[in-house]
A and B are shown apart, each in its own frame.
Chain A
Amino acid sequence: MSKSYSGVQVLKGVTVDLSEGEVLCFVGENGAGKSTLIKIISGAIQSDGGTVKYFGKEYGHVNPRQVIDLGVATIYQDIDLVDNLTVADNIFLGRELKNKLGFIDAREQERQSDELLGRLNLEHIKGADLLADLSTAQKQCVQIVKALKNEAKILILDEPTASLGDKETKALLALVKNLAASGIGIIFISHFIDELFEVGQKLLILKDGVQVVIRKTDETTPEQVIHDMIGRDASSFYQREYFPAGKRKLRAEHYANRHTVHDVSFEIRSGEVFGFGGLVGAGRTELVRMIYGADGKLSGKLYLDEKEVTPSSPKDAIKKGIFMISEDRKGEGLLNLRSVKENIMITHNEGREFINLRKESEMVEKSIQTFGIKAPGQDAEITSLSGGNQQKAIIARCVTDPGEIYIFDEPTKGVDVGAKEEIYKHILDLAKADKFVIIISSDMPELLSMSDRIGVMHEGKLTDILDAKKTTEDELMRKYLGYS
């Protein structure tokens, strides 16, 4: 079996092969190209160049259905099973067993499911169980069983352990080893270095879409792998201007929700850019959403110069001078069908019932000038703008009114390089004006070069607060992974 690829926009010149019974791991930070790679292999997207050979044969353009028929099963992080069906029904979904009368033979399906589950040491799951009653880990296992039932010879697992506890993870890793031993080739993706060393034989390390190196787990160390994952040239760093922090203080105390954030407290000085780093799912976005009042919380209070300002809702937050830009620009930022004008003024207009259209137009014009928003006009639909200009409009929305605290969640996601630098400048202008700035970024060079200090989050806890100037990417990645 061999596979090779090369020349995809976000993925350049990657060549790797997988043999029978081997566990190959893809390693890389957020956005390194791991997902793109599995999407190509599973036929969900086409590569621009290069070829994929399945079992020694090249197939040209393939669609997901064909790839599944070839025996390559992909199991994504989110479970695509039907909750209201039994385990057996799910396993046989689309390929139901029929009895002589043409009805579904539930008993035979359950018998075969139990047999399959038994073979994989999963006797605790029964074919007759309702899927909704299973835990997340058990559902993951059912997905794997379903793939195997369809005679998969290659199994792709995209972060299967991301939402599992310790014990469940162990069971899943045991299953993976078990499967590999039975001759199935496995591609395994995980953010947890320890897991990769436990199950993997070969590690394909990716960085910015480029293959760094392929290492064998028995010939390398976790430190080496972490180093491979990062390390890049200085050009991706932004040279920011530094200025002394102000006197005022912002204190967040004991922020927690049910699952994703656990007792986070920190303090920021005015004029400081405080960064939050961590892997996807570390709880950063959930934390700032609670601070902004957008989501419910178990506990958490916010103090500005010892005066409590905890917002109860985004509306309350804005009244108190707290603004947030969501990471999800499409879902929570843009008013899609509406004009640039309405998008910029939506927050400001909440302050008064009647809108002075002429004055509004002047204000929008000023914003467009200040932020260098390239738009055909104020009344142009916001979606006709480029991603960078859309983002600038949303930032303009937040700075039209006076404020104190600004939260930027992934402010440059999907933004071109030129607009990125402009956005950096506007963020720093706020800090320079003695405001409080919180920034979340999954882009490590961005986080390191923009922040004064970086709070590292790992599995919902604030584990470290680092001085950005004295921190290297190596160090940061180690902290992200909880590997110190």
Chain B
Amino acid sequence: MEEQKKYRSKALKIVTSQPFILFVFIVLVAVVTNSVNNKFLTWSTINSILGQAAGLGLVSAGATVLVVSGHFDISTGRMVGLAMCAMALMLNAGMNPVLVSVLGILICVACSVFNGVVTIAFNAPSFVVTLATQNIYYSIALLLTNGYMQTLYGKYRTLASYQILGVFPLIYLVLILGFVAVYIILKHTRTGREIYAIGTNQRAAYISGININFSKVKFFLISGILVGIASMLMLSRISAAQATTGYGMETEAIGAVVIGGASINGGKGGVVGTFFGVILLSMISTAINMLHINAFYEYMVYGIVILLALAITAVRNYTVAKKNG
């Protein structure tokens, strides 16, 4: 009896969790779209959706770490642009692709850590700090490229085109590994506990013996690495870069994190929710296209989905508050 009750409450917890609700929603959208246009649930469509999702996914995984710890980085889109431009220039100059990849990641890490250090040094909201730094990163990208698009002419394709054992795209493996890494960090490491602790109550975290500043730099570092890898994937997929590339990803990423159920005030959230949030956002445009809906509705749907996610969170908070009296 007791055992049964325990399982039931556990099952109930999973069913009412944000990732599960999102999963159901995604399946629903897929099935409905497919019933109208049976090309939706085909390998090539799914491939194209997931391919697009890869870059956004990794940036969102990093954004999850920051949002849960109570921070925002709205310069990640510009970081992607800068890193892609710099990498394209280096590749066209004939540099070794592996070295270029490492340097690309380092650029993003440097930008992200700079955001973190300034946030700490000025004791300013990271939102405002990154609002400022994104302009700097954009400007650097413009200066590097002189404003011209950099085309790779078929170089650096391996990452996007390689298929493991000839069937499974390497790009998915990278995406999955990124999410698994963040999942492990959040669940199984002290860094994860620090992310939640600092996100929910920074002063309590400090008194409990956490070096707040060092931890925050770590969070920005993690995000930077993921943004760097995202830049690699995107460059390989698109085969070209310009300064404006990536712009808008930062808000999409934060949107995906919020859709995934993370608290915008920090302290709550997980990477599984973010994953489904990314998938949902990525499939919307394709679905709209296939349903022959006017494409101008796309952004309205984005907005509504985020509002819906907030509504679900609000309802859940309300019922929890009611239960706790």
Question: Which A positions have Cβ atoms within 8 angstroms of B?
Answer: 292, 294, 313-315, 317-319, 324, 326, 331-338, 342, 345-347, 349-355, 357, 383-384, 397
Q: Mark B186-222, 1 if CB is under 8 A from A, else 0.
A: 0111111100110011011111111100000000000
B263: chain A residues at CB < 8 Å are 337
Question: A353 touching B190 by the CB < 8 A rule?
Answer: yes
Once A342-B193, A342-B197, A346-B193 are accepted as A-B contacts, the answer to whether A314 and B208 lie under 8 Å apart by CB is: yes
A326: chain B residues at CB < 8 Å are 204, 207
Smallest Cβ-Cβ distance to A379: which chain B residue:
B13
B193, B197, B203, B208 — which one has the most chain A CB atoms within 10 A of its CB?
A: B208
B197: chain A residues at CB < 8 Å are 335, 338, 342, 346
B267 within 8 A of A: yes
How many residue pairs link A and B with beta carbons under 8 A? The number is 86
A354: chain B residues at CB < 8 Å are 188-190
Question: A324 touching B190 by the CB < 8 A rule?
Answer: no
B208: chain A residues at CB < 8 Å are 314, 318, 346-347, 350, 397
A397: chain B residues at CB < 8 Å are 208
Q: How far is the CB of A238 from chain B (nearest CB, A)?
A: 26
For the residues of A in contact with B, the DSSP-based class is: helix
Smallest Cβ-Cβ distance to B6: which chain A residue:
A377
Taking residues whose C-beta sits less than 8 angstroms from the other chain, chain B's interface range is 20 to 34
Cα(A346)–Cα(B208), bound, Å: 7
Q: How far is the CB of A374 from chain B (nearest CB, A)?
A: 14
Q: How far is the CB of A273 from chain B (nearest CB, A)?
A: 21
Question: B324 touching A350 by the CB < 8 A rule?
Answer: no
Cα(A102)–Cα(B192), bound, Å: 58
Question: B209 touching A347 by the CB < 8 A rule?
Answer: yes
Smallest Cβ-Cβ distance to B199: which chain A residue:
A337
B268 within 8 A of A: yes
A349: chain B residues at CB < 8 Å are 190, 193
Q: Which of B187, B190, B201, B324 contacts A335 (CB 8 A)?
A: B201
Question: Which B positions have Cβ atoms within 8 angstroms of A?
Answer: 187-193, 196-197, 200-201, 203-211, 263, 267-268, 324
Question: A336 touching B201 by the CB < 8 A rule?
Answer: yes
Q: List 22 A-B contacts (CB under 8 A).
A: A314-B207, A314-B209, A315-B209, A318-B209, A331-B203, A332-B203, A332-B204, A335-B204, A335-B267, A336-B201, A336-B267, A338-B197, A342-B197, A346-B208, A347-B208, A349-B190, A349-B193, A350-B208, A353-B191, A355-B188, A383-B324, A397-B208
Smallest Cβ-Cβ distance to B263: which chain A residue:
A337
B210: chain A residues at CB < 8 Å are 314-315, 346, 350
Q: Which of B187, B203, B207, B267 contacts A338 (CB 8 A)?
A: B267
Question: A324 touching B207 by the CB < 8 A rule?
Answer: yes
B187: chain A residues at CB < 8 Å are 357
Q: How far is the CB of A332 from chain B (nearest CB, A)?
A: 5
Cα(A292)–Cα(B208), bound, Å: 11
B193: chain A residues at CB < 8 Å are 342, 345-346, 349, 355
For the residues of B in contact with A, the DSSP-based class is: helix
Q: How far is the CB of A43 from chain B (nearest CB, A)?
A: 27
Question: A314 touching B190 by the CB < 8 A rule?
Answer: no
The list of the 7 closest CB pairs from A to B, nearest first, reads: A318-B209, A337-B267, A315-B209, A337-B200, A346-B208, A349-B190, A332-B203
Question: B188 touching A346 by the CB < 8 A rule?
Answer: no
Question: B196 touching A338 by the CB < 8 A rule?
Answer: yes
Q: How far is the CB of A367 from chain B (nearest CB, A)?
A: 15
Question: B190 touching A350 by the CB < 8 A rule?
Answer: yes
| Additional A-B contacts beyond A337-B267, A350-B210, A354-B189 (19; CB < 8 A) | A313-B211, A315-B210, A318-B209, A324-B207, A326-B207, A331-B203, A335-B196, A335-B205, A336-B201, A336-B267, A342-B197, A345-B193, A346-B205, A346-B210, A347-B208, A354-B188, A355-B190, A355-B192, A357-B187
Cα(A397)–Cα(B203), bound, Å: 15
Once A335-B201, A337-B268 are accepted as A-B contacts, the answer to whether A352 and B190 lie under 8 Å apart by CB is: yes
Once A342-B196, A354-B189 are accepted as A-B contacts, the answer to whether A331 and B204 lie under 8 Å apart by CB is: yes
A352: chain B residues at CB < 8 Å are 190
Cα(A377)–Cα(B201), bound, Å: 22
Smallest Cβ-Cβ distance to A328: which chain B residue:
B203
Smallest Cβ-Cβ distance to B190: which chain A residue:
A349
A333: chain B residues at CB < 8 Å are 204, 207
Question: B324 touching A384 by the CB < 8 A rule?
Answer: yes
B267: chain A residues at CB < 8 Å are 335-338
B191: chain A residues at CB < 8 Å are 353
Question: B189 touching A353 by the CB < 8 A rule?
Answer: yes
Question: B324 touching A334 by the CB < 8 A rule?
Answer: no
A294, A315, A346, A347 — which one has the most chain B CB atoms within 10 A of its CB?
A: A346
Cα(A331)–Cα(B209), bound, Å: 15
A384: chain B residues at CB < 8 Å are 324
Cα(A314)–Cα(B215), bound, Å: 14
Question: A334 touching B209 by the CB < 8 A rule?
Answer: no
Cα(A98)–Cα(B188), bound, Å: 64
Cα(A334)–Cα(B267), bound, Å: 12
Cα(A354)–Cα(B192), bound, Å: 10
B206: chain A residues at CB < 8 Å are 294, 314, 332
Once A335-B205, A336-B200, A384-B324 are accepted as A-B contacts, the answer to whether A315 and B189 lie under 8 Å apart by CB is: no
Cα(A331)–Cα(B201), bound, Å: 7
Cα(A16)–Cα(B253), bound, Å: 62
Cα(A334)–Cα(B196), bound, Å: 12
Cα(A350)–Cα(B201), bound, Å: 16
Q: Which of B192, B203, B209 contacts A317 (CB 8 A)?
A: B209
B201: chain A residues at CB < 8 Å are 331-332, 334-336
Cα(A337)–Cα(B199), bound, Å: 9
Once A350-B190, A353-B191, A355-B189 are accepted as A-B contacts, the answer to whether A338 and B209 lie under 8 Å apart by CB is: no
A337, A351, A384 — which one has the most chain B CB atoms within 10 A of its CB?
A: A337
B190: chain A residues at CB < 8 Å are 349-355
Cα(A334)–Cα(B205), bound, Å: 9
Cα(A353)–Cα(B201), bound, Å: 21
Smallest Cβ-Cβ distance to B269: which chain A residue:
A337
A334, A349, A351 — which one has the most chain B CB atoms within 10 A of its CB?
A: A349
B197, B207, B210 — which one has the most chain A CB atoms within 10 A of its CB?
A: B207
B192: chain A residues at CB < 8 Å are 355
Smallest Cβ-Cβ distance to A385: which chain B residue:
B324
Cα(A355)–Cα(B268), bound, Å: 19
A346: chain B residues at CB < 8 Å are 193, 197, 205, 208-210
Cα(A313)–Cα(B201), bound, Å: 17
B209: chain A residues at CB < 8 Å are 314-315, 317-319, 346-347, 350
Cα(A384)–Cα(B320), bound, Å: 10
A337: chain B residues at CB < 8 Å are 196, 200, 263, 267-268
Cα(A352)–Cα(B191), bound, Å: 10
Q: How far is the CB of B184 from chain A (nearest CB, A)?
A: 9
Question: B204 touching A315 by the CB < 8 A rule?
Answer: no
B187, B211, B263 — which one has the most chain A CB atoms within 10 A of its CB?
A: B211
Q: How far is the CB of A418 from chain B (nearest CB, A)?
A: 20
Cα(A294)–Cα(B267), bound, Å: 22
Q: How far is the CB of A459 from chain B (nearest CB, A)?
A: 26
Question: A338 touching B324 by the CB < 8 A rule?
Answer: no
Cα(A234)–Cα(B209), bound, Å: 39
